[in-house]
């Protein structure tokens, strides 16, 4: 069955401090008890150092424990305060899997060098049996002050955990989970079959070096042993590759979800990317990285691509779809930033501010109105009337401009903007011409010598869209001839991949030309917005299966999963797949609680929520349906 139980049932030995909880109990008790003490920080640090030395196997545990207790001045009231604090510090992956702990309580023990007084109240709330907690115990005086520890308790001695486990005499497999060297010693002694170094809270190299497996979470341990769990897969095993210095909030979003994130400042060329993308499940890029068919052929685990920008022409969308890889972008997050740059540049250029400023830097005072105009009353022509074009239309109109646009797709105009029927008509009438088209191949050299010849003499020309849509030589010639009185260019056919590469262009040094390094959307506000938006879409797809907002995938907005398991089946868009799936569901008496289907020209996306009772054979049948591209489960 999918909700696997421990059969044959191994015994699971779990450490408490920095494993079951995120912190070291004794260290926190010291911090609480010494509140207001003039040497509090120094004493707490000494206790923490002793803890770490013991956990790393660098000193006798028994000696370290007694030295820590000697530094501690605490009472029962402090322990009560500590318990309340520790309840808020239970490791996230243990909290997520309380059901597993409860259902398998007979097989689970906490064996800790900590103290029962604060371990039992916390552990039992998550299903651990009180008599399955083995730990040290404090000795108190009549006033309730801690005066020592129970020296007869074997856990106060070196090798105490080994002695406890030996006394338990457990028959069957034993798995030990912990962050300290004393936990590894259970495996080294032969009393445990496997040792899992638990690194969700702290990673100790000397401990991970001797582990059979590094468990980045309790989910990881459960997944490794095919036990029932709260998550269908441990997120620490999902590798995320973020390129081109995307905003830090994106990295934080994935790390907070528990994903394994690799961050690269620059872009990667095709050969580098073919190598780096292996074993990556999610990749985030901006405009300089190209994800080709060859790259996708090397992406053995890739499930989703995030374009941290508007355009997606740098991604082979059809090939990604055929491989069941969903692509998401940020169509609106940086529109305001691009619009503001366009408005700023058209004002600077039509006033010839660039030339005046350059002259001033040379000591030349040229106070003259010649060739300097207002934008009020001028005709703004926009090629493309999408998210950026429409917003620029509103701002330009508020500044007193007459707005006209041409778009190959029928668009409803906003405000007083007027649609013209042909590109040629727009070119001939515009005082300022601004491009806002996408990067499809058909738009290559959309504006060349012919188009510049059709424009008004002295036109102001802006390209903040895609580099390859303008013939740069033709633009340079138009500037030199005076046909174009000023130009603002933010995007280029060939752009440096990093800030260390030299930029070259025929536009260099030309008068009244503003060149910017593809920064139309590069404001702190825009990049932060994108950094929030794109990961949210990627995480919805990974965690919930929702593909709403994808540019190449059938769009499905899914409800949150409740008390069911969710099957996500991506298949080639051929007849009969859904019928075959339904036959498998019927044959296996599967109780369907929800079903969703959407297709596009390449693939079909079937999502089925089912009751938890099903066999592994059923899952295998679903995976083997002819035409299956990818299958995964969520719960």
**Same domain, yes or no, for 383 and 489?**
yes
Instruction: Tell me what pLDDT residue 245 has.
Output: 92
Whether 430 maps to a domain, the answer reads: yes
- Give mean pLDDT, residues 297-314: 94
User: Measuring CA to CA, which residue among 308, 339, 336 is closest to residue 488?
Assistant: 339
pLDDT at 7 over 60: no
Render 101-137 in DSSP notation, one character per residue.
HHHTGGGEEEEEEEEHHHHHHHHGGGT--GGGEEEE-
For 64-91, what is each residue's pLDDT tens digit? 777 877 777 889 999 999 999 999 999 9
**Same domain, yes or no, for 368 and 477?**
yes
Whether 533 maps to a domain, the answer reads: no
How many other CB atoms are there within 10 angstroms of residue 587's CB atom? 10
pLDDT bin (cut points 50, 70, 90) of residue 395 is: very high
Q: What percent of the chain has pLDDT over 70?
A: 98
Task: Look over the chain and give the mean of its residue pLDDT values, rounded to a whole number.
Answer: 92
pLDDT bin (cut points 50, 70, 90) of residue 3 is: very low
Whether 156 maps to a domain, the answer reads: yes
DSSP, collapsed to helix, strand or coil, labels residue 213 as strand
Whether 537 maps to a domain, the answer reads: no
DSSP, collapsed to helix, strand or coil, labels residue 194 as strand
- Give mean pLDDT, residues 566-582: 93
Instruction: Tell me what pLDDT residue 8 has.
Output: 62
pLDDT at 95 over 60: yes
Instruction: Tell me what pLDDT residue 453 has.
Output: 97
**Domain C-terminal end among 225, 257, 285:** 225
Instruction: Tell me what pLDDT residue 284 has.
Output: 97
pLDDT at 5 over 50: no
Domains contained in the chain, number? 4
**Same domain, yes or no, for 352 and 443?**
yes
Token duo for residue 358: 């350059």
pLDDT bin (cut points 50, 70, 90) of residue 63 is: confident
Give the catalytic positions in this structure.
Answer: 466, 495, 518
CATH code for the domain in which residue 458 is found: 3.40.50.720
Structural domain for 151, as ranges: 11-225
- Give mean pLDDT, residues 289-302: 96
How far is Cα of residue 451 from the mean position of the Cα atoms in its chain?
43
**Same domain, yes or no, for 242 and 316?**
yes
Q: Does residue 247 or residue 57 have the better pLDDT? A: 247
Buried residues in 139-150 as b, exposed as e (16+ CB within 10 A): ebeeeebbeebe
Token duo for residue 78: 């402090």
For 176-233, what is each residue's pLDDT tens digit? 999 999 999 999 999 999 999 999 999 999 999 999 999 999 999 998 898 887 777 7
Secondary structure of 80-107 in HEC code, one letter for each residue: HHHHHHHCCCECHHHHHCHHHHHHCHHH
Instruction: Tell me what pLDDT residue 322 has.
Output: 95
Give yes or no for a contact between 530 and 333, defined as CB atoms under 8 angstroms apart: yes
Whether 535 maps to a domain, the answer reads: no
Instruction: Tell me what pLDDT residue 4 has.
Output: 41
Q: What pTM did the predictor assign?
A: 0.71
Instruction: Tell me what pLDDT residue 617 has.
Output: 92
Asked whether the CA dihedral 120, 125, 129, 130 is positive or negative, the reply is: positive
Cα-Cα-Cα-Cα torsion 229, 230, 234, 235, nearest 10 degrees, comes to 180
For 156-185, what is each residue's pLDDT tens digit? 888 999 999 999 999 999 999 999 999 999
E strands, 303-458, are 304-307, 326-328, 379-383, 402-406, 418-419, 432-435
Phi/psi for 590 (5° steps) reads: -85, 130
- Give mean pLDDT, residues 595-611: 93
CATH code for the domain in which residue 81 is found: 3.40.50.1000
**Same domain, yes or no, for 458 and 411?**
yes
Whether 429 maps to a domain, the answer reads: yes
**Same domain, yes or no, for 350 and 401?**
yes
What DSSP state is assigned to residue 190?
T
Cα end-to-end span (Å), the chain: 14
Beta-bridge partners for 393: none
Token duo for residue 367: 């106070």
pLDDT at 140 over 50: yes
**Same domain, yes or no, for 360 and 461?**
yes
**Same domain, yes or no, for 461 and 583?**
no
**Domain C-terminal end among 190, 225, 260:** 225
**Same domain, yes or no, for 491 and 575?**
no
- Give mean pLDDT, residues 427-440: 94
Instruction: Tell me what pLDDT residue 432 has.
Output: 98
Rounded to whole angstroms, how far apart are CA atoms 604 and 58? 57
Region of 303 (left: φ > 0; alpha: ψ -120 to 50; beta: rest) is alpha
Token duo for residue 213: 């497996």
Radius of gyration of the chain (CA): 32
Instruction: Tell me what pLDDT residue 499 has.
Output: 82
Q: Does residue 309 or residue 120 have the better pLDDT? A: 120
pLDDT at 488 over 90: yes
- Give mean pLDDT, residues 564-588: 93
pLDDT at 274 over 60: yes
Whether 545 maps to a domain, the answer reads: no
Instruction: Tell me what pLDDT residue 54 has.
Output: 67
For residue 465, give Cα distances in angstroms to 226, 335, 470, 472, 521: 50, 11, 10, 14, 11
Instruction: Describe the crossing of helices 25-33 and 61-71 by its angle, rounded to 10 degrees.
Output: 20
**Same domain, yes or no, for 69 and 103?**
yes
**Domain C-terminal end among 515, 544, 566:** 515
**Same domain, yes or no, for 210 and 195?**
yes
**Same domain, yes or no, for 304 and 428?**
no
Rounded to whole angstroms, how far apart are CA atoms 238 and 410? 42
pLDDT at 1 over 50: no
């Amino acid at each position: 069955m999918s909700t696997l139980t421990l059969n044959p049932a191994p015994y699971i030995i779990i450490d408490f401090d920095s494993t079951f909880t995120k912190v070291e109990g004794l260290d926190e008790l010291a911090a609480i008890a010494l509140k207001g003490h003039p040497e509090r920080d120094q004493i707490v640090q000494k206790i923490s150092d002793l803890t770490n030395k013991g956990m790393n196997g660098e000193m006798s545990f028994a000696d370290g424990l007694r030295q820590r207790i000697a530094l501690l001045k605490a009472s029962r009231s402090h322990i009560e305060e500590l318990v309340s604090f520790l309840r808020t510090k239970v490791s996230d992956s243990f909290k997520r899997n309380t059901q597993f702990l409860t259902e398998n309580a007979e097989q689970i023990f906490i064996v800790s060098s900590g103290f029962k007084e604060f371990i039992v109240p916390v552990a039992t709330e998550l299903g651990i049996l009180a008599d399955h907690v083995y730990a040290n115990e404090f000795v108190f005086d009549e006033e309730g002050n801690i005066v020592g520890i129970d020296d007869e308790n074997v856990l106060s001695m070196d090798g105490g955990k080994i002695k406890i486990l030996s006394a338990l005499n457990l028959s069957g497999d034993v798995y030990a989970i912990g962050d300290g060297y004393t936990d590894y010693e259970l495996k080294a002694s032969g009393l445990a079959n496997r040792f899992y170094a638990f690194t969700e809270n702290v990673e100790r190299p000397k401990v991970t070096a001797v582990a059979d497996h590094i468990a980045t979470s309790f989910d990881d341990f459960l997944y490794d042993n095919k036990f029932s769990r709260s998550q269908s897969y441990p997120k620490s095993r999902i590798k995320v590759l973020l390129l081109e210095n995307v905003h830090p909030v994106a990295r934080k979003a994935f790390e907070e979800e528990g994903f394994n994130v690799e961050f690269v400042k620059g872009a990667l060329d095709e050969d580098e990317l073919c190598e780096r993308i292996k074993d990556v499940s999610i990749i985030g890029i901006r405009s300089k990285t190209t994800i080709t068919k060859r790259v996708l052929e090397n992406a053995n685990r890739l499930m989703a691509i995030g374009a941290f920008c508007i355009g997606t022409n740098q991604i082979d969308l059809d090939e990604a779809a055929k491989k069941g890889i969903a692509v998401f972008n940020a169509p609106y997050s940086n529109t305001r930033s691009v619009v503001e740059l366009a408005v700023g540049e058209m004002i600077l250029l039509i006033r010839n501010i660039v030339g005046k400023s350059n002259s001033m830097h040379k000591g030349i005072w040229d106070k003259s109105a010649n060739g300097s105009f207002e934008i009020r009353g001028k005709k703004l022509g926009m090629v493309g009337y999408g998210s950026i074009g429409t917003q620029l239309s509103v701002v330009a109109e508020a500044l007193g401009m007459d707005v006209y646009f041409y778009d190959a797709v029928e668009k409803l105009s906003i405000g007083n903007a007027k649609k013209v029927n042909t590109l040629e008509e727009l070119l001939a009438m515009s005082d300022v011409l601004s491009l806002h088209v996408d990067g499809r191949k058909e738009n290559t050299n959309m504006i060349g010598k012919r188009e510049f010849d059709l424009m008004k003499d002295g036109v102001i020309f802006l390209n903040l869209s895609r580099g390859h849509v303008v013939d740069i030589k033709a633009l340079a010639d138009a500037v030199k001839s005076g046909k174009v009185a000023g130009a603002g260019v933010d995007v280029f056919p060939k752009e440096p991949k990093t800030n260390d590469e030299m930029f070259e262009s025929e536009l260099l040094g030309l008068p009244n030309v503003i060149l910017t390094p593809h920064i139309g959307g590069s404001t702190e506000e825009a990049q932060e917005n994108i950094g929030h938006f794109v990961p949210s879409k990627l995480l919805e797809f990974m965690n919930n299966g929702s593909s709403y907002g994808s540019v190449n995938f059938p769009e499905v907005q899914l409800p949150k999963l409740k008390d069911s398991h969710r099957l996500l089946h991506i298949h080639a868009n051929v007849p009969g797949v859904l019928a075959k799936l339904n036959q498998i569901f019927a044959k296996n008496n599967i109780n369907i609680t929800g079903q969703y289907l959407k297709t596009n020209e390449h693939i079909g996306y079937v999502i089925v929520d089912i009751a938890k009772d099903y066999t592994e054979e059923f899952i295998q049948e679903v995976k083997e349906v002819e035409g299956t591209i990818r299958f995964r489960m969520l719960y």
